[in-house]
Structure 1
């Protein structure tokens, strides 16, 4: 049975669903929504958890030791009930472990904990992946939160900017109609450290940064409050919306879709993490509501 779990501080409140351990709401001290509400007119997602793959694999198929398994885009974590294993007023931890159902599509033993903590004006999300099996665990992981665009602080939608912590001159990547990575990089739409998001940018789906210099950014409009997004241990980033939608997804990733033409083993897939037996790996993202206006 799906439950909604609430956590809070005096600056933020959040609601998380046990289905997918998905953040369902994020609100400021006045109750204003910072997260997309899943309106099906645009997109039913809010902040899905991507595991054990990010994006699509060719023909929805992975190969493990020569055996083919069907695995849908972004994996199964977002559509699976998680166990609530810890809860306080400001913190909640959810757990997903391998099962007969997961091993039918991904034949590995694992434990994945996702801990949500609110401290002051910051929501942190820390995922810990444990390899509880006896062989290497090949996996990817991604966050996929949809932030309100515009944010509820009076800035016009077309005035919003994504300001990276460092200049981002490297080319970006795009996916094809099957969701696979095209081989040729494309010029970045980032000018210096600043991206001016526009619906036209997303006619060709997500903007994918696989040579990212920054591990932090700010989203908002000048002279209004903005959001700082930190992702210190996530090497890739996707930015996406359905063109014209009132949200912008800022998605720190560790991994990405299959390249066009890839038909190899999951463990050899570009961008895959190979976690040795008995070891753990952490993935972290934080969203902080600014107390001052952006300049």
Structure 2
């Protein structure tokens, strides 16, 4: 696997060409903060979701009346990106349309993914470029998996929303979003994580989670996680695995009984010809 390593003396990050996926976050004290990718649970570590988040009905989407096969979370995470910028503390990988991609998603596009180190943190930015002559629908999201428990941490771990909100919960059925709002598992912005919360798959919060949170125990190591231009949020793990995914998205899976039209999916983006859209998250490590 082709890897690019960036470092600023405080933090070292490895990024793979496959999927432009971050593989490791290590602080100078030797601690690893990202999930290590045990294949017996899940091989992902921090995949980029594009041009679709979640699942489509029968793994099929429609665009302008034509149908295309599209597996869960799109094809970017399984595509080889090209390294276009490599600096000591920053790298940029690019995915461009190809004959293979156009058979699944009939648009000319570029997806640039930048990893940049700032102090004891990393900023991940995705830019979507519509190089086509027509509006381009898509969904995009981030799926980073952090160690649970965090390195050197003890006791229950919590997710605490910066906005103190209690966003309504949605659940998935067969990978599709159930339309009913359920009571929020948050109380005054705080959720104590337990594996049993994920027996029914991910917890999705289409609205109201804000744009930032703290993850970790009451005292000890913590992750402050913020995001930009990503209105939807989800939490996911596989019970028994040592990770929790903090997932900000723009676009969700299709709803149960909903359309397979990509542009009609909840919170889908439609980018005009020649336009560029930017999305980002930031991880700050403390303790």
TM-score (norm 1): 0.95
Q: Structure 2 unaligned runs (5+)?
A: none
Q: Does 2:19 correspond to 1:20? A: yes
SS at match of 1:284: strand
Match for residue 36 of structure 1? Answer: 35
Q: Deviations over 1:154-212 (max 9, x none)?
A: 323xx111111012223111110x20011111111111110111111100111111112
Distance, in Å, in 2 between the alignment partners of 1:221 and 1:264 is 41
Match for residue 228 of structure 1? Answer: 224
SS at match of 1:102: helix
213-222 or 126-135: bigger deviation: 213-222
Match for residue 273 of structure 1? Answer: 269
SS at match of 2:263: helix
Distance, in Å, in 2 between the alignment partners of 1:90 and 1:130 is 24
Distance, in Å, in 2 between the alignment partners of 1:266 and 1:234 is 17
Alignment of 1:239-254 (within 5 A): 239-254=235-250
Distance, in Å, in 1 between the alignment partners of 2:196 and 2:91 is 38
TM-score (norm 2): 0.98
SS at match of 1:42: coil
Match for residue 289 of structure 1? Answer: 285
45-54 or 161-170: bigger deviation: 161-170
On the 8 A contact 1:155/1:222 being kept in 2, the answer is no
Q: Structure 1 unaligned runs (5+)?
A: none
On the 8 A contact 1:227/1:287 being kept in 2, the answer is yes
Distance, in Å, in 2 between the alignment partners of 1:88 and 1:196 is 39
Match for residue 89 of structure 2? Answer: 90
Runs of 4+ displaced beyond 4 Å: none
Distance, in Å, in 2 between the alignment partners of 1:121 and 1:65 is 45
SS at match of 1:112: strand
Deviation at 1:264, TM superposition (A): 4.5
Residue from 169, 172, 175 that aligns with 1:172: 169
Match for residue 233 of structure 2? Answer: 237
Deviation at 1:102, TM superposition (A): 0.6
**CA RMSD, 1 decimal:** 1.0
